[in-house]
Structures are given as structure tokens and as C-alpha cells.
Amino acid sequence: MTRLVDKAVSDQRSPTSQSGERDTRTLSGTWFDRTRYHPAITRIWEPRVHRMFRGNTWLIEGRDADLVIDFGLGVTSLTNALDRDVGKPVIALATHVHVDHVGCLHEFEDRLGHGSEAAYFQRMPDEFTLAHLVRTTPDAAGEEPPAGWKCEDFELRPAPLTRIVADGDVIDLGDTFFRVVHLPGHSAGSIGVLDEARKLLFSGDAIYEGRLLDGFPGSSVDDYVGTMRRLISMNVETVFGGHGEPISGGRMKAIAAGYIADREAGGREPFVPSIA
Ligand SMILES: [Zn+2]
Ligand SMILES: [Zn+2]
């Protein structure tokens, strides 16, 4: 078990593993779980949440500011769980507006996202957040949800963006910076952030280990193919996706190439999962 560091660490020499170390500190009771993959990169997720809605939150601790990427389902407070009262600004970046990524976004003051979904962050319409799927999934928050939580009452809190970002914009944490990359296809406003120095990509739902979803309102297979070509051209060592464990840059390229090959073979039927 790795000794944990409580202050921000930015050791450029530290290896970034894809397996990580389970962090045994309890987050807000036992609702959230977390794994640290690097001294300054932590994955936080909700193990009890239904697998369809179990997204990753990433905490990146910088010298002058922290970056939090994606915000879970919103079953219980993420800011309480993060407990980031460390005298630094916290920048909150949503990779896209889907329900499993924006549940607790409203808890943050500085909210970044792509302009093409800005109107949805303001109103959180079911059509684009897919929140209605939570209301019809009795075990959306697991077999034993927190007291008082009922799937049929589920509502996303509006979280208007305070800063609209576009491809090429820079998010500066003092000792490291990230470039915003627009990765449309899964949704129109899907973005990732790239640390070019350390070759790290936080990719949201544009790519991860698993079947990629391209049949939602706002999805575009043609855009997705373009995004895959762009990912294949990127110099990336580790990819921290919107779901599951990190993957290597090589694995990312294989998944991207597989998507393109499927589509070019005529399999252009967009895919959405059935929830069961
Ligand atoms: Zn999504
Ligand atoms: Zn997702």
C-alpha cells in the first residue's frame, strides 16, 4: 500500500501506473471509493451505483489549483467527500452533460464545459442528460441507496457553466497544465484534457475500455470516427476515461482503430445500451 501524501505533489518522475493503489481512507461514509494512480491523480467513484451510471471522478492536485473532472450521479455530496479545504481554487470540468458525470457539478463554483452543451448545463433536460433513465432504474443507486433516496424522485440540479472552454484552451494548475481537446461523437460537447508533458489524457466517455456509445441524442457516428482518428494521432501514455480503470495509450489506439474498422465495414448502426 502506498503511503499517501496529503499535500499536492507533482513529481514528474513518478511513474503513472494503470493499476493504482486502493486508498483505504473513507470518503463521506462509504459511498465513494477511490484509487490513487499517481501522487497527484486520484480516481473517485460510486461502487454501489448501477454499472450503467457508475462514472469516474478524477481529482488532479496541482500546485496552485486542483482540477476535478466529472461529478458522479449526485446521490450524496461529492464536495463533502473530497474535503478539499486546502486553500487552493478548485476548477470543476465536466467532460459532457450526461447524468453519470454531472450529478454534483452544482456544488462547485468554477464550472467548465464545452459551449455546444452550455444550454443543457443550465436546464439539465432529460433528453440530453438521460436523467430519465435513472428514474426508471430502481437500483440506479444500488440495492441499498442512502435513506430517503428514491429513483423516481431523481432530478439533476442545474449547474450553468461559468467558463465555456473550446479546443486548444489551457487549464493551468501552476506546475502542470492541460489542453482542452474537443472529442465529439459520444455527445456533441464531449471534451477531454491532455497533459502534453506527461502524455496523460482524461477522455470522458470519448474512449475507455468497453463498448463505446454513439446512439444518444447529440451523438454522431461521423464525428466519432473523426475523434478516433485524432486519438490515434495523439502521443499519449495513459488514458483516464469516464468509466473503469485507466488504459494505456496503445490500448486506446487499438480501441479507436477497432471503432473505425467496424464503421467502415458497414456497421454504422449507432449503439445505446439496454439497462438491465
Ligand atoms: Zn456519456
Ligand atoms: Zn458515462
Q: How far apart are CA 192 and CA 209, in angstroms?
A: 16
**How far is the centre of ligand 1, averaged over its atoms, from the C-alpha of 98 (Å)?**
5
Instruction: Count CB atoms within 10 A of the CB of residue 27.
Output: 18
Q: How far is the CA of 184 from the centre of ligand 2 (A)?
A: 14
pLDDT tens, position by position, 33-50 = 999 998 899 999 999 999
Instruction: For residue 129, give the ligand nearest its CA.
Output: 1
pLDDT at 85: 76
The reply to whether 71 falls in a domain is: yes
Q: Domain tally for the chain? A: 1
Percent of the chain at pLDDT > 90 equals 79
| Positions in the chain whose pLDDT score sits under 50 | 1-15, 24-28
Widest CA span of the chain, in angstroms?
53
Distance 129 CA to ligand 1 centre (A): 8
Q: Is residue 4 part of a domain?
A: no
Q: What is the CATH number of the domain that holds 100?
A: 3.60.15.10
- Which one of the ligands is nearest to 191 CA? 1
Ligand 1 mean position to 2 CA, how many Å? 32
Residue 274 placed within a domain: no
Residue 14 lies inside a defined structural domain of this protein = no
Query: Is residue 100 in a domain?
Result: yes
Q: Which of 150, 161, 10 is nearest to 75 (CA)?
A: 150
- At 17 the pLDDT is 53
**272 in a structural domain:** no
Range of the domain at 123: 21-264
Q: What is the pLDDT of residue 265?
A: 87
Cα–Cα distances in angstroms (integers) from residue 98 to residues 143, 191, 200, in the given order: 22, 12, 23
pLDDT for 21? 62
Q: Tell how far the Cα of 80 is from the centroid of ligand 2, in angstroms.
A: 22
Would you say residue 1 lies in a domain? no
At residue 1, the pLDDT reads 32
Asked if residue 172 belongs to a domain, the reply is yes
